[in-house]
Amino acid sequence: MMKKIIFTISILYLYGCGLSFHTRTSLQPQITYYLDLSNHEDDLFHVTISTSNLTSENGIYNFAATAPGTYTILDFGRFVKTFHAFDNNDDEIPVEKISANKWKIKNPEALKRIKYDIEDTFDAEVTENKVMPMAGTGIEDNFVAFNTFGVVGYFEGLQSNPVRMKIAYKSNWTIGTALDVDKNGFYFAETYDRLADSPVLIGELTVAETVVNNINVSVYVYATDTVITAQKILSLADGALQSASSFIGYSPVPNYKFLFCLLDFAAYQRNGLTSSGALEHSYSSIYVQPATAKDLPELKNTMAHEFMHILTPLNLHSEVIHSYNFAVPTPSEHIWLYEGVTEWASLIMQLRSGLMNIEDFLNEISNMLTINSKFNKDMSLSRMSLDSYTSEGNSQFSNFYYRGALTAALLDVKLLELSHRTKGLREVFLQLLKEYGKNKPFSEKKFFDLFVEMTYPEIKPFINNYIRGSEPLPVEEYLEKLGFKYIAEKPSDDKRPTLGAAVGMDSNGEFRFVNVSDAAKKNGLRDNDILIKAFGQDINKENLQDIMNKSRTMNVGEKIDFLIKRGNEKIELAVALSQRMIYNVLEEMTSLTKEQKFLREQWLKNLELPEEYKVGYNSKLLELGS
């Protein structure tokens, strides 16, 4: 998740029960991936796949077209530079590329080895569907970071078979991954999905470890700024992780790995990277972002969000996530649950543990309301989910962290009120986790009905209005129940006048107005208007700042003369400076009713859970790979 500045996506891969690699019979297909990263000056992953016992049904090798939680087209097959297949005599077997991500092998029964080279995505020269770095693969002199689904694929019909992987890398490097490794250096996974669920960070890393409620947590860090270490990051985040543990109430996983790739801006520019954030996996999360030591405090909330994903969709998820189709993008309607509820949980858990005070929490909610107002007000959370692979839906995706979290916050209040303060959203969430889990998905189409059955009839109109529908959220009404006052807008203490718009330069070197306020719109200004002149002067890079600074010496009500271009039309506008305003202000009420006081007291704490809710995990089964 990337709150505020850094956009983050969360990702989970789920897998079913199965025997370990070593217990499969010798007649079953055997697949071992070998990755050579010992000499990567050519900026390529060199991959060899050893196979045996394949049949005619396994004759297509698939690279991932997409991956769960990314909601974008990835098409990793386009980064493949060479692809060759060989039999037991080392004679080449004909192969044919039949689509962007599929290679057909003419005689799979005779296949013993595949060799291919695949480019890393960080600096790949692609113009469409550029892979975000946290969802991709990167090779640099001092580290290699990759999501396994971006380097290795799977044979048709064998996605559920066990696999092994061995990685050759520099002897002085450290490796971080959630995969299990045997004494011979082979990493193994019960299925391809489990392998794809495990990103890898290798390089000159620092490492730190802790225990969070019986969960062994490790932090691996590569940072161009050597002041940033794993121990510093862990120290900053430890309180948030402990808060998460208290919120959850049990240990749903035995281990968790944080993998950090923190680059300076020069490295970002060199690789042509334009986005950043974190990508969630079942037992780990990988972070790729520009960072200096002063940015570290921002990581705390991001880590808290990613850690909370061990609840959903790792455990609580629909069948769309449970049996994932890497080849055909298939969205789930319940991203509001996977992302919105997780973001709400990452904040409310810090409030309840004392890491965040009420004022800071209200400021977070206020900020969410302001950012939410900039998105498409007519697009519901359900529609955002189902349209997430479209350009329109994808452009709204980050609002799951704002509208989605706000909706969860209001749903929590509604549940507390209906239950007479005995259970909120956390308690219902954990009740769902008791009923469902990693190996028992809920019904994609029936989940809302299930949620209503487990709670109250009054929740059905809430879902229809604010999750399936796009009615304005009843923020003022619900927060008043907790003793908080909502103020839509009020004058700022900052008395400097404002234009009510910002100016940015686009890729064509033109200066455009953005974030135009309602007051500026009343004066005729619109988003994306091109600025040509101000105060009678032609605008250029050299004088823009000086001209805009001139407005700061003026008074509220005075006007600036602009010449703007809108489409093919040039327009003269006189835009009046206005009083600075602050929006979506939340304040504590000075006196509370008895009902408000009681409801807030329960809202501020994690309510006691029945023992049967604490489903936990079976370490014996996990050890066996079942």
Q: Name the band, by pLDDT with cuts 50, 70 and 90, for residue 622.
A: very low
Instruction: Report the length, in residues, of the chain.
Output: 626
Q: How does pLDDT run across 322-347, given as a tens digit for each residue?
A: 878 888 888 899 999 999 999 999 99
Task: Indicate whether 96 pLDDT > 90.
Answer: yes
Q: Name the band, by pLDDT with cuts 50, 70 and 90, for residue 263.
A: very high
616 vs 53, residue with greater confidence: 53
Chain-centroid distance, C-alpha 201? 18
Give the DSSP per-residue string, 264-302. Answer: -HHHHHHTT----EEEE-SSEEEEEEE--GGGGGGHHHH
Q: Most distant CA pair in the chain: distance in Å?
A: 85
235 vs 507, residue with greater confidence: 235
Among residues 46, 73, 75, the alpha carbon closest in space to that of 62 is found at 75
CATH 1.10.390.10 domain extents, the chain:
319-487+589-617
Q: How does pLDDT run across 550-601, given as a tens digit for each residue?
A: 887 889 999 999 999 999 999 999 999 988 889 999 999 999 999 999 999 9
Contact 286, 10 (CB under 8 A): no
Domain made up of 502-579: CATH architecture? Roll (2.30)
Give the DSSP per-residue string, 397-459. Answer: GGGGGTHHHHHHHHHHHHHHHHTTSS--HHHHHHHHHHH-BTTBPBPTTTHHHHHHHHS-TTH
What is the C-alpha to C-alpha distance for residues 84 and 19, in angstroms, rounded to an integer?
Answer: 30
CATH 2.60.40.3650 domain extents, the chain:
21-308
Torsion sign across C-alpha atoms 617, 286, 343, 606: positive
Overall CATH class of domain 21-308: mainly beta
Task: Indicate whether 418 pLDDT > 60.
Answer: yes
Q: Does domain 319-487+589-617 sit in CATH 1.10.390.10?
A: yes
Residue 150 CB neighbours (<10 A): 24
What is the C-alpha to C-alpha distance for residues 338 and 298, in angstroms, rounded to an integer?
Answer: 22
The mean pLDDT value for 274-278 works out to 85
pLDDT-wise least confident of 192-196, 307-311, 337-341, 342-346: 307-311
Q: Name the band, by pLDDT with cuts 50, 70 and 90, for residue 612.
A: low
What is the C-alpha to C-alpha distance for residues 448 and 411, in angstroms, rounded to an integer?
Answer: 13
CATH 2.30.42.10 domain extents, the chain:
502-579
What is the C-alpha to C-alpha distance for residues 61 and 51, in angstroms, rounded to an integer?
Answer: 12
Mode of pairing for the β-strands spanning 255-263 and 284-290: parallel
Q: Which pTM does this prediction carry?
A: 0.84
Q: Tell me, what's the pLDDT at 613? A: 64
Q: Tell me, what's the pLDDT at 507? A: 67
Task: Indicate whether 618 pLDDT > 60.
Answer: no
What is the C-alpha to C-alpha distance for residues 178 and 253, in angstroms, rounded to an integer?
Answer: 11
Q: Tell me, what's the pLDDT at 26? A: 58
Contact 118, 45 (CB under 8 A): yes
Mode of pairing for the β-strands spanning 215-223 and 255-263: parallel
What is the C-alpha to C-alpha distance for residues 626 and 620, in angstroms, rounded to an integer?
Answer: 9
CA distances from 568 to 85, 305, 529 (A): 57, 46, 11
What is the C-alpha to C-alpha distance for residues 144 and 562, in angstroms, rounded to an integer?
Answer: 50
Q: Tell me, what's the pLDDT at 13? A: 34
Give me 217's structure tokens.
């947590």
Q: Name the band, by pLDDT with cuts 50, 70 and 90, for residue 615.
A: low
Mode of pairing for the β-strands spanning 30-36 and 206-212: unpaired
What is the C-alpha to C-alpha distance for residues 65 and 78, in angstroms, rounded to an integer?
Answer: 10
The mean pLDDT of the chain is 89
What is the C-alpha to C-alpha distance for residues 170 and 176, in angstroms, rounded to an integer?
Answer: 14
Q: How does pLDDT run across 172-185, given as a tens digit for each residue?
A: 999 999 999 999 99
CA angle 343, 345, 349 (to 5 degrees): 130
Q: How does pLDDT run across 461-518, given as a tens digit for each residue?
A: 999 999 999 999 999 999 999 999 999 999 988 888 888 888 888 767 889 988 888 8
